[in-house]
Amino acid sequence: MTASKRGSTRPDIATIAGIVLAVGGIVGGLLLEKGNIKDIAQYTAALIVGAGTAGAVLVACSMKSVMTALAQLKDVFFEHVLDPAPLIEEIIVYATKARKQGIVSLEQEASQITDPFLRKAVNLAVDGTDLDELKAMMELEIEQAEHHAEEAAKVFESGGGYAPTIGIIGAVLGLIQVMKNLANIAEVGHGIAVAFVATVYGVALANIFLLPAANKIRARAAVESRSRELALEGVIGIVEGMNPKLIRSKLEAYLSESKAASSESRQKAAA
């Protein structure tokens, strides 16, 4: 029996819409104030903020952490939908068969489970691994996944802290150039406006992308951890020989938790 498909990957509409809304609001506000897009389209400011922030992050974080963060970037723009209900049904099927025919009867099913975490847990159970050892091994894997995500989130968070300061440096550099041309008063006002574009870039980069990206990676990790905890609880119930009905009752608590988390997320978005 093959495992059912429990999740799918799709573009994260919230991330895309959020960036478009934020950038659109800023540009729209500029245009309503009779500004011009050219006023904030400064490639030199973008170079200073982009390269300066990247350099600061490389100094603060190891190359391994930076590469991990770049790999996790897909979790910001793509959402892996994890529905706990199909996972519960899948575990109940295994629990029912194990109770009737013994846990060794799951050997064939174990090799066909698509979820790597659940497959490893069931294989350990089939191999007769001590329950405490099985639990310790799988909990360690959950912790390592959380650590991996936190490491990536801290890189983006670090960039979010440096970007505004690098923007200020860019503004100061622009003002230095302005001070060289004080004799031409007509150019001074324009030069000052251009100088502060770097500050806008730094603050916008930090608050529209880098800091929100760190939070989204953490949120993704939390959802993944709950799914893995559910799978582990189910396998532990199978190893202990629990009645499938009791296992279902135990695991359905994760359904309520998932709904509560979704409701809380919607309330925060509305606020």
User: What one-character DSSP code corresponds to residue 104?
Assistant: G
Q: Beta partners for 255?
A: none
| DSSP state at residue 105 | G
Work out the average pLDDT over 125-130. Answer: 91
pLDDT digits (tens, 9 = 90+) for 206-265: 999 999 999 999 999 998 999 999 999 999 999 998 999 999 998 988 886 555 444 344
State whether residue 215 is helix, strand or coil.
helix
Q: What is the pLDDT of residues 94-125, one digit of tens each?
A: 999 999 999 998 988 888 888 899 999 999 99
Q: What are phi and psi of 35, to 5 degrees?
A: -85, -175
Please give the sequence-ordered ranges of beta strands (E in DSSP) within 3-42, or none if there are none: 7-11
The residue ranking higher by pLDDT, 22 or 1, is: 22
Residue 269: is its pLDDT beyond 50?
no
Contact (CB, 8 A) for 83 and 8 = no
- 3 state DSSP class of 4: coil
Return the bridge partners of 11, or none.
78
Between the CA of residue 115 and those of 87, 91, 198, 224, what are the distances in Å?
Answer: 10, 12, 46, 12
Nearest to 224 by CA among 82, 61, 88, 116: 82
Query: Distance between CA 114 and CA 184 in Å, rounded?
Result: 70
pTM of the model: 0.82
How many C-alpha atoms does 221 have within 13 Å on its Cβ side?
21
Confidence of residue 186 (pLDDT cuts 50, 70, 90): low
Q: Write the DSSP string, 155-186.
A: HHHHHHHHHHHHHHHHHHHHHHHHHTTTT-HH
Which pLDDT band holds residue 18 (cuts at 50, 70, 90)?
very high
Contact predicate 227/82, CB 8 Å = yes
